[in-house]
Chains A and B, each alone.
Chain A
Amino acid sequence: MLIPVSWLKRYVEITILDSALAEKLTMAGIEIGGITRIGENWARDKVVVGHVLKVEPHPNADRLTIATVDLSNNESIKVVCGGPNIREGQKVAFAHEGAILYNTHTNKTQPLIAAKIRGINSPGMVCSEIELGLGKDHSEILVLPEDAPTGTPLFDYMGDSVLDAEVTPNRPDCLSILGIAREVAALTGRSVHEPDLEYVETEDPINHQISIDIANSDMCKRYSASVIKGVKITESPDWLQKELRLAGQRTINNVVDITNYVMLEYGQPLHAFDYDRINDNKIVVRPAKTGEKLSCLDGELRKLNPQMLTISDSKNPLALAGIMGGTDSEVSDKTRSVVIESANFDPINTRRTAKALGINTEASYRFERNIRPDLVPKALKRATSLILEMAGGKACKGIVDVYPNKGKATSLIIPHGKFKKVLGANISKKNISNTLLALGFDVSLDGQKFKIRPPYWRVDIKIAEDIVEEVARIIGYDEIPTKMLSSPIPYSESSYSYDLRETIRDIMIAGGMHETISYSATSKDNLRKVAMLDNGPNPVRITNPMTRELEVMRTTLRGSILKTLESNIKVSQNKSIRLFEIGKIYIQDNALVNDKLPEEKEVLIGVLAGPRHQLSWAVKEKYMNFFDAKGVVEQVFTELGLAMECMPYKDPIMHPGKTAQILCDGNNIGVLGEIHSDVLNQFDIKEIVVSMFEINLESLYKIKKGIYKHYSPISHFPESTRDFALVFETNVLAADIQQVINRHNLVKSSTPVDIYSSESLSVGKKSIAFRVVFQSTKSTLTKALIDKAQSSILKQLQAKFGIELRN
């Protein structure tokens, strides 16, 4: 809502700066998003109202003229003028040399320089809109009203400030200049002067001229109208046009402009009908009939349905109630008499109809916000009186005012203690009363209890807390003390998954991984690339996606992280990249009939690609593979105190021989491996090994629950180390061998330390050396004891897997 300050000043005295005014309104809940200053640069001695005395042709240029401009004080100046519309007798905006203007040649705002134009001196200029910063037009000079006083500084004559108010949905009363004026009055200790609603009527009773019938009083609480005969449709006077323009409204003709003006003034939308176009002088407020159509004022022919409320005559719809008028009954040059409608329409129905038709008008915007029916007759009388003043004609006696279910004004009873209870601040009864009175409330005090009735324009005051806010916001939130919560801290268990997730994040970054967070929605194409579209669960679809890239909720993080990897590889060639994300996937039940929300499952995913180390003299460049990813995964389980194992596995997007499933506590909780190059190619990732791990965190959380790390006593006896170089069939897994070794009660640990492959091994064999640490908690181990343990282990390995010692 644009609020010209000059217009605001019609109702309330303002003596503070625009910026201070904006600040006060903002703090009190009417946020002023910006202030546009009209004529900010017009120095009072440089830009003035001029009177064109004479216009002569330029001797050297057909398109230019030489204008003699009177600036009063017996001063007149001759300047060269390019505006084709300059005429003798006009009042114009004249700028002296040095005036700060927008220069259309340099496209900058800069001082005007006196110049010789085609041989004629021009020590100033007659301005167009663009030079003054008023608009974009520079084809014509700006012509001022005839009564503009010659010689007056232009700023005094038409300088202004326009506040851009962002009015919250609860305050439709502030979608009006008067509403804002009431706020200003309360905030600055002034009072509001309401417009005069009196006008002269004829003896002709309005009931003889028009009949009004509300067919559905649920949808129209109140409908009133006046009739004015013999109007003359012309342009509006300049002041009216100017104020409408500043408030962001187009100007049309005097009657329509007045209805808009009063709408902006009171916040009550009005509509003017051409009286002679109403069949049988009958207005019926009724739902549309199936198949009815209306040619609307925006030029669209709209099909109506019975959910939509119309203003109709005895035959046809004339207007969409509360939204837009129709062209048939539009006020035009030929109009002789008008019916002015001021009515109150149901907010929900107005909103539904406007949404269904895709229209949002100043009128529907206000009705949706549930304005008060009490505004109806006031705005009607105001508009009628302005029409009589500016368009002439005669008003019929009285107004029609159909108001079937007039509500009773209700009062709120609020004990003084309530203010303290909500705000935690002591506010005196007097302060409360005065604040509410300034806002237009009726206030009476009975002992410790206030009886409060909100003013007729307010719709948002329903409960005691609303009143408390009124007082607090006008006094100022800054005046309320600041206290810390004093009640004891309630006990509630901290979110287990949150804590564990943060631990896992820390493990990840300790492992050199960078955290990424990507969009929860993705494209079907992205899911298809990682084989989740046809093989995976049906993704949850977004009904109104912003783009095709974000059409479904993701069912995997694989597509997200590969996309992230792709974009990072593009910008940093041959860089070591380690990425992880902890995020949700969204899985809907196949049968979505049970009114259950889709499952949201948390997943940890990581990818590693490129050189193992950043470029360095200290290490030879080597590329990451399966085991780099596995190292990070192992770190997670070690830190959490959980055991994990990996077993060979097949996955549609992974390398068939370099992929494992991650098992923990017997459950398959993730996948680890190198990604298939066909999949990488789809992401435009070429000639690089990408290793990935993916862990289902929900399962991990479940397994981890109740498992805590335990202290095991440290042995005071020395360790002994032996290396076992073992030769075995290639299909035997290292983990199985280690399991046998570690089972022996004297073995503390075993670690594969070397993988040996050589032609000296026979075909189908491989060799791994394990370093085995022996230790007892009871005694120092003798050579004999270790030898015995070693041979026992080797015997078992031999029996189970046919494993031999390499000599």
Chain B
Amino acid sequence: MDKNINLETIDEVRAEALRELQDISSLSKLDEWRVSYLGRNGSLTNILRKLGSVPLENRRQIGATANQAKLLLEEKLDHHRNLLANAKTSSESEDDVLDVTLPGWPLSNGNLHPSTKMLREITKAFSSMGFQVQEGPEIEWDRYNFDLLNIPSDHPARDMWDTLWLDYTDKHGNTPMLLRTHTSPMQARIMENAKPPIRVLVPGKCYRYEATDSTHEWQFFQVEGLAIGEGITFAELKGTLYEFVRCIFGDERKIRFRCDFFPFVEPGVDMSISNFVDPETGKRPIDYNQDWIEILGAGMVHPNVLKNVGYDPDVYSGFAFGMGVERIAMLKYGIDDIRLFYSNDLRFLEQF
């Protein structure tokens, strides 16, 4: 029999362990403590290992005491570990120092295309004024793109929209299928399918037969707006669009509201805003010699358009507007080349 093992030695080991534990204030020290009592060669472990050599008559009592001590120490260990983990003890910084100047874990950041961002801003501005989003087809009939909008075939006004035609011939030998040149065909589609009052916003891709350069793209986004009801006036068109510009550009940019011609509105409007000036260089990166940049065409919906969709122009009136999204993004962010939008160079896209 090993005379070292008796109830007293166990009590001693236990008491010493608990005493030491009270002073431990770091996890590394706690682990050292664990090893010295509960580890493979720990003092309590050694006692338990040698239980077999204890005479039978004492073994039961000593064994139970040793096991209780082990459970107690394990419980205290867990408890102390939690205490340390929760406590913000200053002692941790002494033996555990980071180079805080190193960069953090590399998360990958995605981002939205600038056109999407701009579309969202525009949509948000108008939805706060009660406009709801609707969408429509990009491939259209000339009936919707032109005829119903008071732009008859063989009229020179059609030259205002250089059109990409699609390979399709109908029963009458006509080729009426095209890529929509503006979002305005949705005016007719919406009015055909709904009764006034109407207040909608139509974002979408449009296409024109156009050679690309720094200010022209054959593919672009437009946002169309349409408000129809009883007693809607030009003053409200003006109010709506002024508020929109304020939402997007803030109070500083000036607005020009001038007469213009679009066959589907009367009176017609061209809205321009003062050119973008780079705050750092004081220069205008876009159309540097222009004071005003056109961003939007608008007007009161032409009575012929109302008649074409079966509305009574004596009862209903309203306004419509259409704007180029990239153009607005260019003016907002100072982008000097529209071709950047759809060339999808990450060095461009990542900036937004």
- B-contacting residues of A (Cβ < 8 Å)? 26-29, 31, 168-171, 347-348, 351-352, 368-369, 420-425, 463, 465-466, 468-469, 472-473, 477-478, 480-490, 492-495, 497-499, 502, 505, 508-521, 540-546, 550, 553, 564, 567-568, 571-572, 575-580, 584, 586, 592-593, 595, 597-598, 600, 613-619
Contacts and interface: CB of A to CB of B under 8 A. Distances in A.
A485 B240 contact: yes
Q: Is the contact region of chain B dominated by helix, strand, or loop, or is it mixed?
A: mixed
Contacts of B154: 347-348, 351-352
Contact of A171 (B112, B232, B261): B261
A350 B301 CA distance: 30
B167 A541 contact: yes
A347 B152 CA distance: 12
A512 B135 contact: no
Contact of A545 (B164, B196, B261, B342): B164
Contacts of B267: 422-423, 465, 468-469, 472-473
Contact of B219 (A424, A520, A545, A600): A520
A512 B344 contact: no
25 contacts: A29-B260, A423-B267, A465-B303, A482-B238, A485-B199, A490-B196, A490-B229, A492-B194, A494-B133, A497-B135, A498-B203, A512-B109, A515-B110, A516-B113, A519-B218, A519-B342, A541-B166, A545-B164, A550-B218, A572-B347, A586-B138, A597-B141, A618-B102, A618-B104, A619-B105
A489 B243 CA distance: 17
A616 B105 CA distance: 8
Contacts of B303: 463, 465
A265 B115 CA distance: 46
B232 to A, nearest CB: 7
A495 B135 contact: yes
Interface stretch (B21-29, B44-52, B84-92, B205-213): B205-213
Given A512-B107, A617-B102, A168 B129 contact: no
A477 B258 contact: yes
Nearest to A474: B259
B37 interface: no
A567 B177 contact: no
Nearest to A494: B132
B39 interface: no
B231 A592 contact: no
Contacts of A28: 258-259
B349 interface: yes
A358 to B, nearest CB: 14
B166 A169 contact: no
Nearest to B291: A23
Contact of B341 (A26, A171, A510, A517): A517
A616 B108 CA distance: 12
A480 to B, nearest CB: 6
B230 interface: yes
B349 A516 contact: yes
Nearest to A564: B344
B317 interface: yes
A498 B116 CA distance: 12
A544 B317 CA distance: 38
A480 B269 CA distance: 13
Contacts of B40: none
A472 B197 contact: no
Given A484-B243, A600-B137, A515 B199 contact: no
B266 interface: yes
B120 A502 contact: yes
Interface in B224-238: 227, 229-236, 238
Contact of A480 (B103, B167, B235, B240): B235
A514 B110 contact: yes
Contacts of B240: 484-485
Contacts of B109: 509, 512
A227 B343 CA distance: 62
A497 B204 CA distance: 13
A154 B1 CA distance: 132
